[in-house]
């Protein structure tokens, strides 16, 4: 974990050093809180400079640019209206702010779109962790009938092949014979997605010693988040499940309670649908909390409308803890500190099909 996900940064020690340089009252309070909460022992990791790069898919500029084009191109959906970016909107929090996404013909699927921001740090993909890599993930939505709705990947890649500019772009990115194929398309999209990292959230800056980067309320929220046990599953630096081989899955909801019926939390069987193992019923990958303030509504079915309510639901359903409103507000404030800085992205020009359309009426 340490090598690929970055060093442990001992934030409280750094803050202690800063203390002797003289700081204002508010900073002092934050510092005291930080030390008393975490005792100088708890280390808060920040996001690594780069996500892990697979050996068989090194990052190159040509490949990333091609992946960006494919990511934004709606012509590989049956109706020509849905691209990766439709549901994983990079202008927003990397999702679509809908309970479940709307694909071709206005169809909706059963699950909430996970954010694509920082997805490269996950070791499994999809809510049920059914694939291990971004490369494998990229092939799924293209042929999902409520998403991009193509009959199969051969039909989809035939559309790519029909566009002269893509033939050139695949040759530049991959070389070799017949470079324009499904696996290379998935590799290109994955390479682009590995650039979608949001560094420098207030939390990251705070954890690197910039003690004013989080407000006192946010630090209080982090403390409560940690004390309650949220960080047992939502572990820094991704505030997602631990990076153990095969992935980390948690039963949700763990405890019964009023929210389970209210938000239909058990209607979905979770990872059981993938493995058929009874022990995987209602199990899900622990999603990242980075940029979680931007991705309402919440949970696998998107049934919970607000972040405050999501905090209440998690506390009760996972930890059997009732929170008062101040605790909820503090934790929400902390979660907002996980919103990072978004890189500038130039809109790609999509290669043309001159004088014809690939979309059937």
Catalytic residue, chosen from 147, 193, 309, 327, is 147
Helix (H, G, I), strand (E, B) or coil at 312: helix
Q: Report d(CA 38, CA 208) in Å as an integer.
A: 15
Kindly report the number of other CB atoms within 10 A of residue 260's CB atom.
17
Tell me how far, at minimum, the Cβ of 354 lies from its own copies, in Å: 4
Nearer to its own copies, 3 or 349 (CB): 349
Q: Report d(CA 353, CA 140) in Å as an integer.
A: 25
- How far is CA 204 from each of CA 138, 170, 198, 334, 342, rounded to the nearest angstrom? 29, 37, 10, 12, 14
Nearer to its own copies, 52 or 308 (CB): 308
Residue 147: active-site member: yes
Among 40, 74, 109, 232, contact with its own copies (rule: CB under 8 A)? 74
Nearer to its own copies, 98 or 172 (CB): 98
Tell me how far, at minimum, the Cβ of 42 lies from its own copies, in Å: 26
338 binds its own copies (CB under 8 A): no
Q: Report d(CA 6, CA 11) in Å as an integer.
A: 14
345 binds its own copies (CB under 8 A): yes
Q: Which parts of 304-333 interact with its own copies (CB under 8 A)?
A: 305-308, 332
Peptide bond between residue 253 and the one before it cis (omega within 30 degrees of 0): yes
User: CA torsion sign, 334 to 315 to 232 to 280?
Assistant: negative
Tell me how far, at minimum, the Cβ of 311 lies from its own copies, in Å: 9
Q: What residues make contact with its own copies under the rule CB under 8 A? A: 72-75, 79-81, 86, 89-93, 96-99, 102, 104-107, 293-294, 296-297, 302-303, 305-308, 332, 335-336, 339, 342, 344-350, 352-359, 361
Residues annotated catalytic, as ranges: 147
């Amino acid at each position: 974990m340490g090598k690929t996900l970055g060093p442990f940064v001992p934030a409280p020690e750094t803050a202690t050093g800063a203390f002797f340089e003289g700081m204002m009252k508010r900073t002092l309070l934050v510092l005291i809180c930080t030390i008393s909460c975490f005792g100088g022992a708890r280390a808060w990791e920040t996001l690594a400079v780069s996500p892990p790069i697979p050996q068989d898919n090194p990052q190159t500029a040509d490949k990333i640019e091609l992946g960006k084009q494919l990511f934004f191109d709606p012509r590989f959906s049956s109706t020509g209206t849905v691209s990766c970016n439709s549901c994983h909107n990079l202008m927003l929090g990397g999702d679509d702010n809908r309970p479940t996404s709307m694909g071709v013909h206005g169809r909706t699927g059963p699950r909430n779109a996970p954010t694509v921001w920082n997805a490269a740090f996950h070791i499994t993909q999809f809510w049920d962790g059914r694939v291990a890599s971004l490369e494998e993930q990229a092939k799924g939505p293209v042929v999902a009938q409520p998403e991009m709705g193509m009959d199969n990947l051969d039909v989809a890649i035939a559309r790519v092949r029909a566009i002269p500019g893509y033939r050139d772009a695949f040759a530049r990115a991959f070389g070799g014979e017949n470079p324009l194929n499904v696996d290379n398309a998935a590799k290109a999209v994955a390479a682009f997605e590995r650039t979608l990292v949001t560094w420098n959230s207030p939390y990251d800056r705070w954890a690197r010693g910039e003690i004013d980067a989080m407000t006192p309320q946010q630090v209080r929220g982090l403390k409560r988040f940690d004390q309650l046990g949220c960080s047992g599953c939502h572990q820094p630096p991704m505030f997602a499940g631990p990076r153990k081989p095969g992935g980390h899955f948690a039963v949700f909801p763990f405890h019964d309670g009023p929210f389970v019926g209210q938000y239909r939390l058990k209607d979905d069987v979770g990872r059981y649908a993938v493995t058929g193992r009874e022990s995987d019923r209602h199990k899900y990958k622990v999603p990242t909390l980075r940029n979680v303030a931007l991705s309402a509504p919440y949970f696998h079915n998107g049934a919970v409308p607000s972040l405050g309510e999501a905090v209440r639901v998690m506390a009760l359903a996972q930890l059997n803890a009732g929170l008062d409103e101040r605790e909820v507000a503090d934790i929400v404030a902390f979660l907002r500190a996980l919103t990072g800085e978004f890189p500038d992205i130039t809109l790609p020009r999509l290669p043309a099909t001159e004088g014809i359309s690939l979309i059937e009426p």
